[in-house]
Amino acid sequence: NAGVTQTPKFQVLKTGQSMTLQCAQDMNHEYMSWYRQDPGMGLRLIHYSVGAGITDQGEVPNGYNVSRSTTEDFPLRLLSAAPSQTSVYFCASSRQDTTEAFFGQGTRLTVV
């Protein structure tokens, strides 16, 4: 049982490049979300999804896009990376939006 899997674990991008952070869960959870974690800031919600085909914005959505074509996958896209997007990104899933969340191991992204 893999739980929540994030790839890649580490990534270095140049300013202006694009990339997709992958997140997959095998628990058949409806609710999935993306957070970024910066020193002294805790975790901030970027985007979330309450089910396939449904996404919504969190606290800090600018510069990020998401889609949810299947229950299992919830990729996060950076269309034009900026140094301000240097952070550790966590994907999480839960059975419902009010139950405990299961987190991936994170993707450490550096934008130079």
Whether 105 and 92 have beta carbons less than 8 Å apart is answered as: no
Residue 43 in contact with another protein, rule: CB under 8 A: yes
C-alpha–C-alpha distance, residues 89 and 47, integer Å: 12
Of the candidate spans 11-19, 34-42, 61-69, 72-80, the one that interacts with another protein by CB under 8 A turns out to be: 34-42
Contacts for 19 with CB less than 8 Å, ≥ 6 apart: 11, 13, 77, 78, 81
Q: DSSP strand E in 10-86: where?
A: 10-13, 19-25, 31-38, 42-51, 54-57, 64-66, 76-78
Residue 74 in contact with another protein, rule: CB under 8 A: no
Q: Which of 16, 99, 110, 112 binds another protein (CB under 8 A)?
A: 99
Q: Please report how close the Cβ of residue 98 comes to another protein at its closest, in angstroms.
A: 5
Of the candidate spans 14-22, 40-48, 62-70, 78-86, the one that interacts with another protein by CB under 8 A turns out to be: 40-48
Q: Please report how close the Cβ of residue 24 comes to another protein at its closest, in angstroms.
A: 14
C-alpha of 39 from chain center: 17
Residue 55 in contact with another protein, rule: CB under 8 A: no
Per CB under 8 A, residues contacting another protein are 4, 31, 33, 35, 40-45, 48, 50, 58-59, 90, 92, 94, 96-106
